[in-house]
Amino acid sequence: MAPSLTGSGSPFLTADGKTLCFEGNEGQVWTLPVAGGEPTLRLETGPAFHFFRSASPSLTCDGKYLILSGIAPQGGAVARVRTDDPAKPDLIAFTEKRLFAWGTLSPDERTYATSIGTKEGEGFWDLCAVDVQEQTKPQQLAWGRPQWNYRPVWSPDGRKIAYVGRNVDVRVLTLGGLPQPSLALVVAPTDKGATATLTCTGKEATTVTATYQLFDAASAEVASGALTAQPVPLKPGEVVEFALPTGAAAARTMKATVVAQTGERAIALATIPAP
């Protein structure tokens, strides 16, 4: 079985950039390796959980979960669906009188940004954040602003959300606060290049791998590579520094990505000072 060539839409790339996830015309969800391969049907529209016609699916990097917004029998819902057992979705957010529109999973896969409103195509819609890992009440981030039919998107470091406002303007929220991830990553330029400082803020030891990318003024990658030859063990409270090369003359932005053995990711961006 293959998706219809003229019935496929809403592409989403996993945070590691390896898998494309998209929807079919009847609400099916497909995945496809970016490096090449056959598409796999992950989800068919079923009676238990009727998704929006354009469900705008998000997929976790390990391929285990789809995050979707849609309509459950009793109201609007955001669901986490196991790709190996799609018949039993976990409703991670639920509302009786309102609806969730299209949303997007954050790069660290902790938060689903979406909008919540009264009725498809009508009324005021609020931008909100849904905790993907725990069933908590959605947190409203902006009142009555987003256009319901354009999904919000995340910046690569997961600290900004861009969305289309009511007046068809593009707005950006910057997020802060005191999340409790296991990794804290900061990239800062130095005299000789740049340093990525990684702190283990979690309560358990872990191992991490780190990579870097350099981008030119047109946002195209000009260099990339590994910062760790092999997984690096990290104890709670331990701080590790990685030297980032900035050798490419055209490089204007540096990006460091650290992945823990648990799959948790930390991404940091920094601008390279002009020579």
Tokens of 211: 């990579």
The least CB distance from residue 224 to another protein, in Å, is 7
DSSP, collapsed to helix, strand or coil, labels residue 182 as coil
> Which residue lies nearer to another protein by CB, 87 or 186?
186
18 or 88, CB closer to another protein?
18
CB 87, min distance to another protein, A: 26
Dihedral, 58, 131, 270, 197 alpha carbons, nearest 10: -120
Q: To the nearest whole angstrom, how small is the minimum distance from the Cβ of residue 111 to another protein?
A: 7
C-alpha closest to that of 57 among 263, 65, 49: 65
State in angstroms the smallest separation of the CB of 138 from another protein: 10
Burial class of residue 185 in the structure, from the number of CB atoms within 10 Å of its CB (0-12 exposed, 13-18 middle, 19+ buried): buried
Q: Which is nearer to another protein, 12 or 72 (CB)?
A: 12
Query: In the complex with another protein, which residue's Cβ is closer, 72 or 95?
Result: 95
Sequence-distant (6+) residues with CB within 8 A of 84 are 64
Q: Side chain identity at 195, as an amino acid letter?
A: T
DSSP secondary structure letter of residue 231: P
Q: Rg of the chain over CA atoms, in angstroms? A: 20
Using alpha carbons, select from 33, 34, 42 the residue that is nearest to residue 1. 42
Tokens of 20: 């494309």
Interacting residue ranges for another protein, rule: CB under 8 A? 5-13, 16-17, 20, 22, 25, 34, 110-111, 123-124, 129, 131, 136-137, 139-145, 147, 150, 153-157, 160, 162-165, 167-180, 186, 213, 215, 218-221, 224, 252-253, 255, 269
Q: Which CB, 170 or 229, lies closer to another protein?
A: 170
Nearest distance from C-beta of residue 170 to another protein, angstroms: 4
- When the beta carbons of 87 and 239 are compared against another protein, the nearer one is 239
CB 209 to another protein: min, Å: 15
